[in-house]
Amino acid sequence: MPTKRVFRFIFVLLSVAAIALAQTSGSIGGVIKDQTGALVPNASIVAMNPDTGVPSKVTSLADGKYLINNLAPGKYDLTVEVPGFKNYLSKGIEVHVSDKLVIDISLQIGESRDTVTITDEAPLLRTEDAQTGEVINNTFIANLPQLNRNPFALLALSGDVAGSGNSVALNGGRTLSVDYYVDGGVVNSGQGNNLTNQTPSMDAVAEFKVVTSGISAEFGRISGGYVTLVTKSGTNAYHGSLYEYMFNDMFNANAWAQNAIGNPKVHFRQNDYGFTAGGPVTLPKIYSGKNRTFFFIDNEYLKKTQAGSITLAGVPNDLERSGDLSKSFYQGKLYPAYDPDGPQSAQPAANGFYERLGLLGGDGYHVPASRISPVAIAILGFVPKPNRPATAGSSSLNDYGFASSSKLDTFRFGARIDENLSASQRLNIRYSTYSSNQAATPTMENQLYTSNVAQSNGGISGNINYTWTATPTMIVDIRNSATFQPILTGATHDPSFNNSFLPAIYQKYLGTNDIQTITNSFMNGTNYAQPGSVAVTNSTSYNLGGTVTKILARHTMKAGYEYRRYYDNFLNAGGSTNTTNFMTDPVFRYQGDWGNGAVEGRVNGMASFLLGINDRNNVAQPTTRAMNTNYVGAFFQDDWKVSSKLTLNLGMRWDNERPTTERGDKIYFWDASHPSLFPVIPGYSFTNAVKAAGLDPATIPVPDWAKSGQFDPGAVMLTNSKEFKARSPQSPHNLQFAPRIGLAYQLDKKTVVRAFGGKMFLGTTGNP
């Protein structure tokens, strides 16, 4: 990736970019009392991760309550010190992403030099809110077999999850309304809200959580739930890993379908290499990052080569290429073709269509040489000859077989830095890059066929997360992220290919190195040519925001703001829209929009092709779009501890998605209220027109527009035009307030009852 782009990305990340507000950490809280049950204020509480040596310190309030927030996933030792009491120590408290652990502490009177050590007090129940979900920890990620090594493929381990890949539905919600967070930053695209390829390597994932209910007001634009992932960070000890995962055809049996046609097992190699390394940042004799500065890097490289399976197609034999269809059988039968320029009956046939009476070539089985299209002859010059026996009962079905090969290379790199700026300030930064190249050779030895390519080169993602414990009861959290995902898919012809044999009009649209799809229904349908195409989708997202958490007696209040900006740039050149289809209609017995004749077309499609008469022809020039969507949101959440057993989660969110615009105002839409652009000609008489058509006016109902003299309103509009001044057809909705209400009631030590209700406003996913 060009250096200039990297610096521009980092600059945007630091200045304008990003945050998606996500719970990437957990918390420990509770009440401190003495042996008599009296509340203990001003106690010093420290949660220490022994792997990093980084302490998190708070002081209990007047009512004995404490809360240690923003704890990265891991194991912690919790200590409490108060003059006149024995010190308290609880080891190995495991905190997962989004956890809210409640540990109430009872202190014993005694000397502070004495310590009471607790070894089994980690709570099993979440009692502080209505949230439900599933944590997929590193044990699952590291040990479950994974063919594609995608951590989000393990979403299925959680309840209330359906689907896979980009089609995941959480808790019955919409598949396009699931947000994915990596270290607090959203890694969804704007158009479609799809998960981008900026997912970390499996070996860089600490854990992730699927939240499917009890969603606080901190989260919006989602339906059914969200997924939040936390990457690994370094510790005071140096750790690393080196791996290779190998797949090889020597381990595989041949496919049944390939055995059936006599094709041997195809070549297949896949090697996935990678490493991870983490620890304190240390510069000998200059700087020691122990207990302060940590790094973690990961790298993964996948290389895959595969020979394709044999693909069967029907190509014409020498007789058929010359126009002789007298031996062109399909399912053991011959099907005559009718002359499109021959005599026809004067009256419609009984089935309502006009009947062709003249057989093509006099017998229905020959295309006269003088009428064979020179374009068809040129195309057949590229189409290969049969190379295998045809299927029994046919002249040319499955008489050609060819295999293509493919290769795939992907490269993924990530780096994370964690810095403890002071006892109250922490910073972590993550940067990742991803590239992918996939290519496949043509599926037919035919210069009219294309080689396929799929690329995603230069994808980058970054996060900056800053936490400041301003006071023991107030925490400021600012998170930033930016993601760029470029995708190019397409197909290209050999550079030497030239389409000069086509009519000149095609070159105006396609240039000289391309051709449209040419499809023939002959012998079960075969493409004689494939179009070159390029489809580019570059998605960029910037996110910015922050939260403030304030602990006040029985209330833990959190407020925040979020801003997202999405860019989606598209280019579509050629592709499936450029098609020419040859079927049976031009030479079928009955002339008209006939929907049958499918079997006859397996033979007669060749007659249509040789005559050069197609059923359908579409050619389009390239199109581009540059879309932009902006979104802002704000929220307030109050977790109210009503009693020792009851907690209420009360929140309100404001969502505001701005109308989607296009840089060149290339948005068109149907405006149902606009006056019709088509007038009824003055003096026009519908009745006279019916009579002129030879029909009885008494049998034809008069349409409304003929009665009123004007057409119904409605017209296609173009944004930012003389007829429509605005840049988007969407209307902003500025009063989208979404309340959330949750309840958690602890019946006993083993049972918590939860209830949740809320309102969600979903995004338009960048599509106006």
pLDDT surpasses 90 at 483:
yes
- The answer to whether residues 368 and 400 touch, using CB atoms and an 8 Å cutoff, is no
pLDDT bucket at 165, cuts 50 / 70 / 90? low
> How many other C-beta atoms can be found within 10 angstroms of the C-beta atom of residue 491?
21
Vertex 234 angle, CA 232 and 239, to 5°: 100
Distance spanning both ends of the chain, measured CA to CA: 32
Task: Tell me which of 756 and 443 has the higher pLDDT.
Answer: 756
Question: What is the average per-residue pLDDT within 581-601?
Answer: 78
Six-digit token string for 176: 């396009």
Supply the pLDDT for residue 547: 94
581, β-bridge pairs: 519, 616
Supply the pLDDT for residue 368: 95
pLDDT surpasses 70 at 166:
no
Q: Write the CA distances from 520 to 360, 373, 506, 523, 757, integer angstroms.
A: 18, 15, 19, 8, 57
Supply the pLDDT for residue 542: 92
The contacts of residue 551 (CB under 8 Å, 6+ apart) are 61, 65, 67, 473, 474, 557
Helix (H, G, I), strand (E, B) or coil at 611: helix
Question: What is the average per-residue pLDDT within 9-19?
Answer: 39
Alpha-carbon distance of 264 to 266, in angstroms, equals: 6
pLDDT surpasses 90 at 126:
no
**Contacts of 672-679 spanning 24+ positions with Cβ under 8 A:** 672/713, 672/714, 673/713, 673/714, 674/713, 674/714, 674/715, 674/717, 674/723, 675/713, 675/715, 676/710, 676/711, 676/712, 676/713, 676/714, 676/715, 677/715, 678/711, 679/710, 679/711
- The answer to whether residues 519 and 529 touch, using CB atoms and an 8 Å cutoff, is no
288, β-bridge pairs: 282
Percent of the chain with pLDDT over 90: 44
pLDDT bucket at 392, cuts 50 / 70 / 90? very high
Q: Give one word for 84, left, alpha or beta, with left for phi > 0 and alpha for psi -120 to 50.
A: left
> Of the candidates 147, 132, 158, 227, which has an alpha carbon nearest to the alpha carbon of residue 187?
227
- The answer to whether residues 140 and 157 touch, using CB atoms and an 8 Å cutoff, is yes
- The answer to whether residues 402 and 444 touch, using CB atoms and an 8 Å cutoff, is yes
pLDDT bucket at 14, cuts 50 / 70 / 90? very low
> In the chain, what is the greatest distance between 2 CA atoms, to the nearest angstrom?
116
* Orientation angle between helical segments 601-611 and 374-382, nearest 10 degrees: 120
- Specify the pTM: 0.80
pLDDT surpasses 90 at 663:
yes
Q: Within 13 Å and on the Cβ side, how many CA atoms surround 759?
A: 11
